[in-house]
Chain A
Amino acid sequence: MRLEKLCREEALRYMGYRGNAPDSAMTALLDQAEEQLLRVIEPKYVYRIFDVENIGAQGVSLKDCELFLEGKDIAVHLEGCRRAALMACTISGGADRLIRINQIRNMTLAYVMDSLASAAVEQVCNAAQQEIASQTGGYCTWRFSCGYGDLPIESQKKFLTVLNAQKRIGVSVSDSFMMTPTKSVTAVFGISDSPLDKKRSDCESCNMKDSCKFRKTGERCGI
């Protein structure tokens, strides 16, 4: 997978632009940040598809998988799905290094890069999900991640183990369940044989709902 360009609208949203257009100085910064990032970004992803074994009050069990997806929210999320895909995506460690260096040299540029890199990993997720979906057929739910709703963030470690993510794409997790490289995402999505209700992401099930800067201004985060 290769990223040809990065999603600036998304990055601007992260930077609090609320739909305002960037001025020319900002556009120049975005150009500079994007150019440098594209040189170091190495998109990688890994996934596995499991049959859904049982959806119950405690959560979801997958066939031949040691990871139990715990919680009511993931149970609701995967309702009606015969299969579930577990995936991990990253833009790799080069972006982290670049951002770190620029925090010494030029904090503004570093911040713009950080936002663009966050947008980039979302792009990798979108592309990966599309590729997986096109291979498996069926209808996909949106992506649900460890730490959303009542799916514990502590699941992150086993999630990555199941995907053999450290060996395959170099993604691991720290003691406090933060992923490295920083710009990495894990997610599970359901695959159904029949069309799904166009369920929108529900802010109520989000553990960021009290502090979400998008919600405060009436926006949505885009999940």
Chain B
Amino acid sequence: MEFKQLLDKKEFIILDGAMGTMLQRKGMKPGAVPEELNITCPEWIEEIHSSYIRAGADIVYANTFGANRYKLADSEFSAEQLIKAGVGIAKKAAQGKDTLVALDIGPIGQLLEPAGSLTFEEAYDMFREMVIAGSKADIIVFETMTDLYELKAAVLAARENSSKPIACTMTFEENGRTFTGCEVSAMAVTMEGLGVDAVGVNCSLGPDRLAEVVGEFARWTNLPIIAKPNAGLPDPETDLYDMTAEQFAQEMKKLAAMGVKILGGCCGTDPEFISRLSGLLGNEKYQRPVPEIPAAVCSYGRTVAIDRPRIIGERINPTGKKVFKAALINKDIDYILSQAIEQTSAGAEILDVNVGLPDIDEKQMMVTAVKAIQSVTDAPLQIDSTLPEVLESALRIYNGKPIVNSVNGEEKSLSTVLPLVKKYGAAVVGLTLDENGIPKTAEERFAIAKRIMERAVSIGIPKRDIFIDCLTLTASAEQKGVMETVNALRRVKTELGLKTVLGVSNISFGLPNRELINSTFLSVALANGLDLPIINPNAAAMTGAVRAYRLLAAYDENSIEYISAYGGEKPAAAADSGVSKDMTVGYALEHGLRSEGAKVTAKLLETTDPMDIVNEMLIPALDKAGEDFEKGRIFLPQLIQTAGAAQACFEVIKKHMTSKGGGQVSKGKIILATVKGDIHDIGKNIVKVLLENYGYQVIDLGRDVDYQRVVDAAIENDVHLVGLSALMTTTLPSMEETIRLLHENNVDCKIMVGGAVLTYDYAMKIGADFYSKDAKESVDIAKKVLG
């Protein structure tokens, strides 16, 4: 029997109940490794499986949940040994029966980046080991997952190393989210995209509290739904659960009526629970209306349904932006992040990410950028590149379901991009152009759209995941083309039933008052069926046009969203008059006034040399703050605030100098890194803000930084001062190792170290040149070393 047959043959599929609960009853102590019993006490395990099979389980989960390399680090057995043994015992118990055996895989036990330090690739490797070791099982189950990212690594490991069906369940709390903030909808659309065979919920709560979670699954996926909940809630002291087997079965029956096809028990359940459940459902019919699943994309924590016009922010793109290009070349990820946050604050619901520049490693930059952006915003992303290998790398590590931008009607594009979209379960933008360029007429563009759609559908991409871009041409150059675009868009929408996307800002190129043209064109496009305008959300008129349209077209029920965006706005006062006459750089810095600082700097630049502003105003003001801090007159937050205001001033100066194509403000380069294994980086980031505002260029390698990366970055960038930070005693050896490696490679640099557990003596002992007791001192050291 196979899983697919089981689905067809049975009204409901019954899973087993708890393994851990049963083992504890047999005397396993808290803190023990349950999977070791597969070898040390296999008869217990077999007995438990057999009792569940007798109770009516169609699938039993092998005792392999935590048998991964990380959890078994201190075990005398390997993951492979324990998994092989575990699957073997379950197979033995199921012998001669129709019962299937699941390879059961739980979370690794440590959190993935960005919250933790385990990388996506490391997680993938551990899951791969488990999948390969459990190849004899009939189905692979990932359960009790709380992190969508980890689950994605797991599912990819299963898809790429096994042909067995995959079922996955996550643990949702009463608020409908997992501990890491994953929503049911995000799990459902991401997993369906990745091609798993069943999804649902396990552990969590009792079945009496899961109706909403199950309802969400029913709304967001057509896949069979699994529910394997706990026997109610545990008593904190005794760890006993509060539901009886009969109560549990009755509640489960209600979930079955809501469309759950696959049912079992988690913590606190035993064979009695399963027997009642299977008895109660014995004569029931499985009935589930087939809902129409909304078109949607998501991050781990937010699902954006394309059920109304949604704003895609276009600003993460170097085209035509000198500052952005410079940031890419300098690997200044924080700049990209600030662009992300600024756009979502302004109203962007999805962010386009394009980091293509001739002289950089686009693949690596894209992966870095996607990971970093996802760590600070839950807006879904649109991955924008012309290179399939860049798209694939990003699709792999993206947490959720993204949009791919783009495929077009060319055969080469269709045959390389669409398979990636299918494999990773993304949505895709289809551009209506091909070998012959952009057709002039709506008719021809419509034909290409149709071709793209047919091709995508033929390889299994659902229609709802295809978004067509009918391409905006510049009105000043091709005035007649404007309405062709609009007409093509309307036909794609109404005749093909596809969602539409359009980059809007191009329309006004070369014309004065561009925003007027842009927003008017946007309104016309929206009225003709545009779903996904790609715009600059920081332009109030553009975001406003979308919000107003959503109100007028009755998407924004009772105008709630519109009022919340604009209701608090005071009637515009006389245009921003800029800065008061008395404002000085010194005052702005002392009081941490960022925007005032920026404005006064901009004004000064009209008459003053930028380097004079830096050396005669910014640095002295910073020095004064530093001195006040040392004397205890001000405290760290105020020092950071002053630095923050200085940063705003520096931004203005940098922009001015970049636009003039002039020299750099930099007084020298400094590498900063939080050492390998250490994920607490706020201290390092404070140091960074201070150093930058003294005019140093900081190359921030981030946290949990591999030893060799520090060495490579120092050599590559010819850096003469490296700052390392470590917070915990457990990561001090990493600091020592990094220093050792810098010395071993004869890197011509001084090393300063800092962090909560460090002392001067220890810093000297491990070979550092300087010990920095606080952020201020790091500036003093930089002055000493770099001047």
Residues of A whose CB lies within 8 Å of any CB of B are 15-18, 20, 25-26, 29, 46-49, 64-67, 92-94, 96-97, 99-101, 103-108, 110-112, 114, 135-136, 147, 153, 158, 161-164, 166-170, 172-178, 180-182, 207-208, 210-211
Stretch at the interface among B95-103, B680-688, B744-752: B680-688
Distance between A50 CB and nearest chain B CB, rounded to angstroms: 8
Q: Please state if A107 and B643 are interface contacts (CB–CB under 8 Å).
A: yes
Interface residue? B730 (CB, 8 A): yes
In the bound assembly, the distance between CA atoms of A104 and B641 in angstroms comes to 13
Tell me how many residue pairs across A and B have CB atoms closer than 8 Å. 161
With A147-B729, A170-B146 known, 10 other A-B pairs at CB within 8 A are A15-B637, A20-B635, A101-B376, A107-B686, A153-B729, A167-B267, A174-B677, A175-B110, A175-B118, A178-B679
Q: Residue of B at shortest CB range from A94?
A: B181
Interface residue? B644 (CB, 8 A): yes
CB neighbours of B635 from chain A (8 A): 15-17, 20, 26
CB neighbours of A16 from chain B (8 A): 635-636
Residues 332-354 of chain B: 1 if any A CB is under 8 Å from the residue's CB, otherwise 0? 00100110010000000000000
Q: Please state if A66 and B31 are interface contacts (CB–CB under 8 Å).
A: yes
Q: Residue of A at shortest CB range from B266?
A: A167
In the bound assembly, the distance between CA atoms of A106 and B632 in angstroms comes to 23
Interface residue? B537 (CB, 8 A): no
Distance between B306 CB and nearest chain A CB, rounded to angstroms: 25
CB neighbours of B400 from chain A (8 A): none
Stretch at the interface among B246-254, B545-553, B616-624, B755-763: B755-763
In the bound assembly, the distance between CA atoms of A77 and B591 in angstroms comes to 48
Q: Please state if A26 and B638 are interface contacts (CB–CB under 8 Å).
A: yes
Given contacts A101-B376, A208-B757, contact A25 B115 (CB under 8 A): no
Q: Please state if B180 and A170 are interface contacts (CB–CB under 8 Å).
A: yes
Q: Please state if A174 and B110 are interface contacts (CB–CB under 8 Å).
A: yes
Q: Please state if A180 and B111 are interface contacts (CB–CB under 8 Å).
A: yes
Partner of A178, one of B171, B632, B680: B680
Consensus secondary structure, chain B interface: loop
Distance between A54 CB and nearest chain B CB, rounded to angstroms: 15
Interface residue? B236 (CB, 8 A): yes
In the bound assembly, the distance between CA atoms of A172 and B117 in angstroms comes to 11
In the bound assembly, the distance between CA atoms of A18 and B179 in angstroms comes to 36
Distance between B522 CB and nearest chain A CB, rounded to angstroms: 28
Interface residue? B268 (CB, 8 A): no
CB neighbours of B632 from chain A (8 A): 18
Partner of A167, one of B144, B334, B761: B144
Q: Within B523-565, which residues are at the interface with A (CB < 8 Å)?
A: none
Q: Can you report 9 A-B residue pairs in the complex whose CB atoms are below 8 A from each other? A: A48-B239, A64-B30, A104-B338, A110-B685, A153-B728, A162-B31, A169-B179, A170-B180, A176-B678
Interface residue? B689 (CB, 8 A): yes
In the bound assembly, the distance between CA atoms of A182 and B116 in angstroms comes to 9
CB neighbours of A65 from chain B (8 A): 29-31
In the bound assembly, the distance between CA atoms of A180 and B116 in angstroms comes to 6
CB neighbours of A207 from chain B (8 A): 729, 757
Interface residue? B203 (CB, 8 A): yes
Contact-size category for B:
35 or more
CB neighbours of B180 from chain A (8 A): 93, 170
Q: Please state if B237 and A49 are interface contacts (CB–CB under 8 Å).
A: yes
In the bound assembly, the distance between CA atoms of A65 and B237 in angstroms comes to 14
In the bound assembly, the distance between CA atoms of A20 and B338 in angstroms comes to 34
Interface residue? B83 (CB, 8 A): no
Interface residue? B81 (CB, 8 A): no
Interface residue? B114 (CB, 8 A): yes
Q: Within B116-140, which residues are at the interface with A (CB < 8 Å)?
A: 116-118
CB neighbours of B686 from chain A (8 A): 107, 111
CB neighbours of A177 from chain B (8 A): 728, 730
Interface centre among A18, A47, A97 (most CB of B within 10 A): A97
Partner of A104, one of B115, B376, B640, B730: B376
Interface residue? B697 (CB, 8 A): no
Q: Within B636-690, which residues are at the interface with A (CB < 8 Å)?
A: 636-638, 640-641, 643-644, 677-680, 682, 685-686, 689
Q: Residue of A at shortest CB range from B756?
A: A211
In the bound assembly, the distance between CA atoms of A101 and B632 in angstroms comes to 29
Q: Within B49-87, which residues are at the interface with A (CB < 8 Å)?
A: 70
Partner of B31, one of A20, A105, A158: A158
Q: Please state if A15 and B636 are interface contacts (CB–CB under 8 Å).
A: yes
Q: Residue of A at shortest CB range from B629?
A: A16
In the A-B complex, list the 9 residue pairs whose CB atoms are closest, starting with the nearest.
A170-B179, A66-B31, A176-B677, A162-B31, A180-B111, A108-B641, A108-B640, A176-B730, A180-B116
Partner of A107, one of B110, B685, B734, B761: B685
Given contacts A15-B635, A167-B171, contact A48 B117 (CB under 8 A): no
Q: Within B678-732, which residues are at the interface with A (CB < 8 Å)?
A: 678-680, 682, 685-686, 689, 727-731
Q: Please state if A111 and B640 are interface contacts (CB–CB under 8 Å).
A: yes
Q: Please state if B376 and A178 are interface contacts (CB–CB under 8 Å).
A: no
CB neighbours of A147 from chain B (8 A): 729
In the bound assembly, the distance between CA atoms of A52 and B87 in angstroms comes to 37
In the bound assembly, the distance between CA atoms of A114 and B643 in angstroms comes to 18
Interface residue? B572 (CB, 8 A): no
Distance between B700 CB and nearest chain A CB, rounded to angstroms: 11
Q: Please state if A210 and B114 are interface contacts (CB–CB under 8 Å).
A: no
Q: Please state if B682 and A178 are interface contacts (CB–CB under 8 Å).
A: no
Q: Please state if A107 and B636 are interface contacts (CB–CB under 8 Å).
A: no
In the bound assembly, the distance between CA atoms of A169 and B30 in angstroms comes to 16
In the bound assembly, the distance between CA atoms of A169 and B178 in angstroms comes to 10
Partner of A181, one of B110, B115, B682: B115
In the bound assembly, the distance between CA atoms of A173 and B116 in angstroms comes to 8
In the bound assembly, the distance between CA atoms of A25 and B634 in angstroms comes to 12
Interface residue? B1 (CB, 8 A): no
CB neighbours of B181 from chain A (8 A): 93-94, 97
Interface centre among A168, A178, A207 (most CB of B within 10 A): A178
Given contacts A166-B107, A207-B729, contact A107 B640 (CB under 8 A): yes
In the bound assembly, the distance between CA atoms of A178 and B732 in angstroms comes to 13
CB neighbours of A20 from chain B (8 A): 635
CB neighbours of A29 from chain B (8 A): 637
Interface residue? B571 (CB, 8 A): no
Interface centre among A97, A107, A176, A207 (most CB of B within 10 A): A176
Q: Please state if B641 and A175 are interface contacts (CB–CB under 8 Å).
A: no
Distance between A113 CB and nearest chain B CB, rounded to angstroms: 9
Q: Within B312-343, which residues are at the interface with A (CB < 8 Å)?
A: 334, 337-338, 341
Interface residue? B476 (CB, 8 A): no
Q: Within B249-293, which residues are at the interface with A (CB < 8 Å)?
A: 267
In the bound assembly, the distance between CA atoms of A26 and B592 in angstroms comes to 11
Q: Please state if B109 and A166 are interface contacts (CB–CB under 8 Å).
A: yes
Q: Please state if A101 and B341 are interface contacts (CB–CB under 8 Å).
A: yes
CB neighbours of A48 from chain B (8 A): 30, 237, 239
Q: Please state if B115 and A180 are interface contacts (CB–CB under 8 Å).
A: yes
Interface residue? B377 (CB, 8 A): yes
Q: Please state if B31 and A25 are interface contacts (CB–CB under 8 Å).
A: no
Interface residue? B575 (CB, 8 A): no
In the bound assembly, the distance between CA atoms of A105 and B375 in angstroms comes to 13
CB neighbours of B640 from chain A (8 A): 107-108, 111
Interface residue? B573 (CB, 8 A): no
CB neighbours of A208 from chain B (8 A): 756-757
Residues 343-377 of chain B: 1 if any A CB is under 8 Å from the residue's CB, otherwise 0? 00000000000000000000000000000000111
CB neighbours of B574 from chain A (8 A): none
In the bound assembly, the distance between CA atoms of A182 and B678 in angstroms comes to 11
Q: Residue of B at shortest CB range from A168?
A: B234
Residues 165-187 of chain B: 1 if any A CB is under 8 Å from the residue's CB, otherwise 0? 00000010000001111000000
CB neighbours of B116 from chain A (8 A): 172, 174, 180
CB neighbours of A47 from chain B (8 A): 236-237
